[in-house]
Amino acid sequence: MQRYIGIDLGGTNIKGALVSETGKILKQRSVPTHTEAGAEAVTKTIAAMICALAEGESVSGVGMGCPGTVDDQEGTVVYACNLGWVHYDVRTALRELTGYSVRLVNDANAAALAEAAVGAAKGAQSAVVVTLGTGVGGGVVLNGKLLTGFTGAASELGHMTIVADGEPCACGQKGCFETYASATALIRMTREAMARHPQSALHRIAAENGGVDGRTAFLARQVGDAAGGEVVRQYIHYLAIGVGNIVNIFFPEVVALSGGIANQGENLLAPLREEAAQREYGAAYSKKHPRILCCTLGNDAGVIGAALFAKD
């Protein structure tokens, strides 16, 4: 049985795993990224992880999921705003350090590939995965293949505009889906609501949980807090705009959400399905509708997908 190494490079952590050809994780590791140390230092950390995972193993290939735009043909990270990497030849650097020629794929695309192959969308002919984290990522799988586009930059769903001339995004544009539907956006909305409503249960819940996070507003809504409820409603409204656009462009069998916010399950999905359906073109007449659900592979999707990309 062939074995592959998958690396999931994130702004906070680097995760790696040795993965079987059927998508089973055999062993794995995780270390902090320390992006402030610079690209060269981060690359050395990735190389050390690859070497550790490969020790004593027969490895058929290595794949790495990276945030931002990657060019697998050239072996470069073209632009990753959350890492500060621009036209960085990471393949050459890793080959010199490890001896492996590493395949590159966008991190959200890697997660989508994993969920389509062995996760939430297994068996579906088409699926779109939307990752709700520090930013918003996306991956589109059609007939078992990733949609990467002319330059490899396709499926950057987080950077479609959903509010004309809206809030600024880290990418340099305004009004991006990421700016309104990421975990970062939900935390910002929660803090703004706390400032407007000093008596809200949001304050107590944040204090009890060590600060504001993606759960705060949902927990406040559960205890009947009006401010928390309004934050959740506003957040789901923006998420539904983006998901509605995705459905109208791709009309996949499955739209699967991942990230910490997706852990809210039906508290998130039920109102999201209702509002997104209203934005679906021809919804009143269509007999088939995409299934909107949560991903099933959790934090393992990135490493599994990167490994499967190396396999393919």
- Cβ neighbors of 120 (< 8 A, separation 6 or more) are 127, 254, 256, 293, 294, 295, 296, 297
Rounded to whole angstroms, the Cα distance separating 109 from 154 reads: 9
167-190 pLDDT, tens digit each: 999 889 999 999 999 999 999 999
- The pTM of the full predicted model, rounded to 2 decimals, is 0.84
* 184 touches 135 (CB < 8 A): yes
Give residue 56's pLDDT band: very low, low, confident or very high (50, 70, 90): very high
Secondary structure (DSSP) of 20-41: ETTS-EEEEEEEE--GGG-HHH
- Convert the pLDDT of each residue in 126-158 to its tens digit: 999 998 988 898 899 998 889 988 877 788 899
pLDDT digits (tens, 9 = 90+) for 266-311: 999 999 999 999 999 988 888 888 999 999 998 899 999 999 999 9
Backbone angles phi, psi at 95, to 5 degrees: -65, -40
Closest CA to 82 of 129, 30, 131, 33: 33
Residue with tokens 């544009």: 173
Q: Which residues of 142-172 are buried (b: 16+ CB within 10 A; e: fewer)?
A: eeeebbbeeebbbbbbbbbebeeeeeebbbe
Provide the pLDDT confidence category of residue 234 given band limits of 50, 70 and 90.
very high
Q: In the prediction, which pLDDT does 126 show?
A: 95
Q: What is the mean pLDDT of the chain?
A: 94
What is the distance between the alpha carbons of residues 148 and 309, in angstroms, rounded to a whole number? 12
Q: What are phi and psi of 71, to 5 degrees?
A: -120, 100
CA–CA gap between residue 159 and residue 177 (Å, rounded): 6
Please tell me what DSSP assigns to residue 18: E
Residue 80 has pLDDT above 80, yes or no: yes
Q: What is the pLDDT of residue 295?
A: 96
How far apart are alpha carbons 270 and 276 in whole angstroms?
10
Q: Is 22 exposed, middle or buried (0-12, 13-18, 19+ CB in 10 A)?
A: exposed
Residue 39, C-beta contacts closer than 8 angstroms, at least 6 positions apart: 83, 84, 85, 88, 90
For residue 100, what pLDDT is reported? 97
In this structure, what token pair is assigned to residue 237?
Answer: 């409204």
